Copies of this chain bind each other. A is one copy, B any other.
Amino acid sequence: MANGSSRATTLTDVARLAGVSVATASKALNGRAGVRTETRERVVDVAKRLAFQPNALAKSLLAGRTGTVGLLTSDMEGRFSLPIMMGVEDAFGAARTSVFLCDARGDSIREQHHVDALLSRRVDGLIVVGSRTEPRPSLGRGLPVPVVYVYSPSDHPDDMSLVIDNVAGASLAIQHLVTGGRKRIAHIAGDPGYQATHDRARGAEAALDAAGLSLACGRIHYGSWTEAWGRGATRMLLADEPAVDAIFCGSDQIARGCLEVLRDQGREIPDDVAVIGFDNWEVLTVNARPELTSVDMRLEELGRRAAQRLYEAIDERMTPGVEMLHCQIVQRGSTIPLN
C-alpha cells in the first residue's frame, strides 16, 4: 500500500465488510438514530480499520456546500495574506473549512482565472485580500457566492469590505507619544502614491491638533517605504529641527532607518527621541535596537472578522458596506515614557 497506489476506501467498501447496506453504514457513521448499537459498533470498527474518509466531493455535491473558501491575494510577500489566512482558519475552525490560497500576482487576467477556478470548485465564498488601501475593482455582483474584500475595499458600495482605520491608527501613535510627554513630534511619511500615507498623515495631524501641538519641523516628509528613506528623512529632520523629541514613522522599515541615523548622531532612544513605527512587522520591530514600538493592524483579527462576515453572508445575511477595524499600539523599548 505505497503512496498513491491504493484507491481510497469508500462507504461501499465499509458496508460490504460490515455486512450491511450503504444506507445503514451511512447512518451508523453519522450518528443518526435508528440503528442497533451492535451494528453501529461493527460499522464504526470496520471504518476505522479501513481508515475510511468519507468523500467530501460526493457529500458537497449533494449538500450544495463544500466547506471551502477561496482566498485571493496579490501580495507575494505574504505580509498581509498570511496573518489574514490564519484568522480565517481560526474563525471557521480548521477542521470544517479549508482555504484555497491563490496569488494573482497583481495581474487581473490571472485573477479572473483564479476566480473561475474557485467558482468551478464551488467554494462557499471568496475573500479578496489587497495590499493597498485604495479601493479595488469589484469582482461584480453576479457571482453565485458571497465575497468579502479585505484591506483593499471594493470600489462598489454594495460589496462587503473590511479595512484598517489608518487615520485612527496614526492618531493612536501620536497620542501614545503625547502621553509619554513628547512635545516636538515629527512625522516621516511613506510613499505619497499610497492612500495609506495620506490617511496616516491626516490622523497624525488631527491628533496633534487635538493635543494642542503642531508638527515639529512644520511639515510632513513624504518619501518611500524604505529604510533608506527613513535614514534620509531623519537626517533632514535633525538638521531642520534639532530639538525634535519624537518621530512617528509611516512604516516599520522607515522607522528602522530612522533609529539607525538617530543612533549615528548620538541621540539616546527613547530618552532624547522616541520613535514609533507602523505595521508591527516582527522581524523588523523585535530586532531593532532598541526594540521598536509600532502600530499593529491586527491582521489576524481582520481575517477572523472576514470569515464571520462571509459565514453570515453564506447564510443569507449580507452586511454591505465598509467596516473599519481599529489598530492598536504594541509598545516596546523605543517609546518608554519620559517622566
Contact = CB atoms under 8 A, between A and B. Distances in A.
Contact of A119 (B8, B120, B314): B8
A132 interface: no
A121 B68 contact: yes
Contacts of A314: 4
Contact of A3 (B78, B101, B147): B147
Contact of A226 (B82, B113, B144, B287): B287
A82 B101 CA distance: 10
A318 B56 CA distance: 26
A146 B51 CA distance: 16
Interface string A146-172: 110000000000110000000000000
A277 to B, nearest CB: 13
Interface stretch (A13-21, A23-31, A57-65, A193-201): A57-65
Contacts of A316: 4-5
Interface stretch (A40-48, A92-100, A323-331): A92-100
Interface residues of A, number: 73
B318 A289 contact: no
A100 B99 contact: yes
A114 interface: yes
Contacts of A3: 141, 143, 145-147, 159, 313, 318
Interface of A: 1-8, 51, 53-58, 60-61, 66, 68, 71, 76-78, 82, 85-86, 89, 94-95, 98-103, 110, 113-114, 116-122, 125, 141-147, 158-159, 226-228, 231, 253, 256-257, 260, 281, 283-284, 287-289, 313-314, 316, 318
